[in-house]
A and B are shown apart, each in its own frame.
Chain A
Amino acid sequence: MTQSPTLSRRASSAPSQPRKSRRRGADARAGYTFLLPWLLGFIALTVGPMISSLYLSFTNYNLFDAPKWIGLDNYTTLLQDERFLQSVGVTLQYVVFGTPLKLAAALAIAMLLNSKRKGQGFYRSAFYAPSLIGASVSIAIVWKAMFGDSGPVDQGLSFFGINLGGWVGNPNMTMGMMILLTVWQFGAPMVIFLAGLKQIPADLYEAASMDGAGPVRKFLNITWPMLSPVIFFNLLMETIHAFQIFASAYIISNGEGGPAGSTLFYTLYLYLRGFSDFRMGYASAMAWLLVIVVGIITLIFFKTSKSWVHYSGDAK
Chain B
Amino acid sequence: MIDRRKFLTTVALGTASAAFLSACGQSSSSGQTGSADKPVTITYTWWGNDDRAERTRKAIALFETKNPDIKVNGNFSDFAGYWQKRATEAAGGGLPDVMQWDLSYLRDYGQRNQLLDLGTVKINTDGFDKSLLPSGQIKGKTFGIPTSTNAFAVYYDPAKLASLGIAEPDGSWNYKEFNAFLAEVGQKGNGTLFGGTDYTSVWWNFNIWLRQNNIKAFTDEGKLGFSKDDLKKWWNLSADLRGTAAIVGEDKTTQLLPKSPFGSNVTATEVTWDNFMAGYLADSGAKELKLVPVPSDDPDNLGLFLKPSMLMVASAKTKYKDAAARFIDFMVNDPEVGQIFKTSRGVPTSKTQRDGTTFEGTDKLVVDYEKSIEKYLKDAPEPPIVGFGTLESTFKRVSSDLNYGKLTIDGAADAWFKEAEDLIKQNA
Binding site for B on A (CB under 8 A): 60, 62-65, 77, 82, 148-149, 165-166, 168-171, 254-256, 258-261, 271-272, 274-280
Across the interface, A278 reaches (CB within 8 A) one of B256, B387, B397, B400, namely B387
Contact A82 B254 (CB under 8 A): no
Q: Which residue of chain B is the closest to A271 with respect to CB atoms?
A: B84
Contact B397 A256 (CB under 8 A): yes
Interface residues of B in 381-428 (CB under 8 A from A): 387, 389-390, 393, 397, 400-401, 404, 406, 415, 422-423, 426-427
* Given pairs A64-B109, A148-B255, A260-B401, 15 additional interface contacts (CB within 8 A): A62-B112, A63-B91, A64-B112, A149-B252, A149-B256, A168-B254, A254-B81, A256-B393, A258-B400, A259-B250, A260-B406, A277-B387, A277-B423, A279-B426, A280-B91
In the complex, how many angstroms separate the beta carbon of B393 from the nearest chain A beta carbon? 7
Interface residues of B in 112-137 (CB under 8 A from A): 112-114
Contact A82 B251 (CB under 8 A): no
Q: How distant is the Cα of A255 from the Cα of B78 in the complex, in angstroms?
A: 11
Contact B90 A254 (CB under 8 A): no
Q: How distant is the Cα of A210 from the Cα of B99 in the complex, in angstroms?
A: 76
> A260 to chain B: which residues have CB within 8 Å?
250, 400-401, 404, 406
Across the interface, A255 reaches (CB within 8 A) one of B84, B109, B389, B426, namely B84
Contact B390 A63 (CB under 8 A): no
Q: Tell whether B253 is near chain A: CB-to-CB under 8 Å.
A: yes
Across the interface, B257 reaches (CB within 8 A) one of A60, A165, A254, namely A254
- Using C-beta atoms within 8 Å of the partner chain, give the interface range for chain B: 35 or more
In the complex, how many angstroms separate the beta carbon of B391 from the nearest chain A beta carbon? 10
Contact B404 A259 (CB under 8 A): yes
Q: Which residue of chain B is the closest to A70 with respect to CB atoms?
A: B426
Contact A259 B112 (CB under 8 A): no
> A82 to chain B: which residues have CB within 8 Å?
415
Q: A258-B400, A259-B404, A276-B84 are in contact. Are A169 and B252 (CB under 8 A)?
A: yes
Contact B251 A166 (CB under 8 A): yes
In the complex, how many angstroms separate the beta carbon of B414 from the nearest chain A beta carbon? 10
> A271 to chain B: which residues have CB within 8 Å?
84
Q: How distant is the Cα of A77 from the Cα of B422 in the complex, in angstroms?
A: 10
> B255 to chain A: which residues have CB within 8 Å?
148-149, 166, 168-169
Binding site for A on B (CB under 8 A): 78, 80-81, 83-84, 87-88, 90-91, 108-109, 112-114, 249-258, 387, 389-390, 393, 397, 400-401, 404, 406, 415, 422-423, 426-427
> A168 to chain B: which residues have CB within 8 Å?
254-255
> A274 to chain B: which residues have CB within 8 Å?
87
> B88 to chain A: which residues have CB within 8 Å?
275
Contact A170 B84 (CB under 8 A): no
Contact A64 B397 (CB under 8 A): no
> A277 to chain B: which residues have CB within 8 Å?
387, 390, 423
Q: What are 24 A-B interface contacts by the 8 Å CB criterion?
A: A62-B112, A63-B90, A63-B91, A64-B112, A148-B255, A149-B255, A166-B255, A169-B249, A169-B255, A171-B406, A254-B80, A256-B393, A256-B397, A258-B254, A259-B404, A260-B400, A260-B406, A261-B406, A275-B88, A275-B91, A276-B83, A276-B389, A276-B390, A280-B91
Q: A64-B112, A149-B255, A277-B390 are in contact. Are A259 and B87 (CB under 8 A)?
A: no
> A63 to chain B: which residues have CB within 8 Å?
87, 90-91
Contact A65 B112 (CB under 8 A): yes
Helix, strand, loop or mixed for chain B's interface?
Answer: helix
Q: A171-B404, A275-B84, A275-B88 are in contact. Are A259 and B251 (CB under 8 A)?
A: yes
Q: How distant is the Cα of A272 from the Cα of B393 in the complex, in angstroms?
A: 11
> B406 to chain A: which residues have CB within 8 Å?
171, 260-261
In the complex, how many angstroms separate the beta carbon of A69 from the nearest chain B beta carbon? 14
> B415 to chain A: which residues have CB within 8 Å?
82
Q: Which residue of chain A is the closest to B112 with respect to CB atoms?
A: A64
> A261 to chain B: which residues have CB within 8 Å?
401, 406
Contact B112 A275 (CB under 8 A): no
Contact B90 A64 (CB under 8 A): yes
In the complex, how many angstroms separate the beta carbon of A226 from the nearest chain B beta carbon? 47
Q: How distant is the Cα of A278 from the Cα of B252 in the complex, in angstroms?
A: 30
In the complex, how many angstroms separate the beta carbon of B111 from the nearest chain A beta carbon? 9
> B249 to chain A: which residues have CB within 8 Å?
169
> B423 to chain A: which residues have CB within 8 Å?
277
Across the interface, A169 reaches (CB within 8 A) one of B83, B251, B422, namely B251
> B397 to chain A: which residues have CB within 8 Å?
256, 258
In the complex, how many angstroms separate the beta carbon of A64 from the nearest chain B beta carbon? 3
Across the interface, B251 reaches (CB within 8 A) one of A165, A276, A280, namely A165
Across the interface, A275 reaches (CB within 8 A) one of B87, B109, B256, B422, namely B87
> A65 to chain B: which residues have CB within 8 Å?
112
Q: How distant is the Cα of A148 from the Cα of B252 in the complex, in angstroms?
A: 9
Across the interface, B114 reaches (CB within 8 A) one of A64, A77, A166, A258, namely A64
Q: Which residue of chain A is the closest to B425 with respect to CB atoms?
A: A60
Q: Which residue of chain B is the closest to A64 with respect to CB atoms?
A: B112
Q: A64-B114, A260-B404 are in contact. Are A278 and B253 (CB under 8 A)?
A: no
Q: Quick one: which of A64, A148, A254, A260 has the most chain B CB within 10 A?
A: A260
Q: Which residue of chain B is the closest to A253 with respect to CB atoms?
A: B254
Q: Which residue of chain B is the closest to A148 with respect to CB atoms?
A: B255
> B404 to chain A: which residues have CB within 8 Å?
171, 259-260
Q: How distant is the Cα of A279 from the Cα of B423 in the complex, in angstroms?
A: 10
Q: How distant is the Cα of A249 from the Cα of B113 in the complex, in angstroms?
A: 33
Q: How distant is the Cα of A258 from the Cα of B366 in the complex, in angstroms?
A: 33
> B426 to chain A: which residues have CB within 8 Å?
60, 62, 279
Q: How distant is the Cα of A260 from the Cα of B257 in the complex, in angstroms?
A: 14
Q: How distant is the Cα of A272 from the Cα of B81 in the complex, in angstroms?
A: 10
Q: How distant is the Cα of A170 from the Cα of B252 in the complex, in angstroms?
A: 9
> B422 to chain A: which residues have CB within 8 Å?
77
Contact A259 B254 (CB under 8 A): yes
In the complex, how many angstroms separate the beta carbon of A154 from the nearest chain B beta carbon? 10
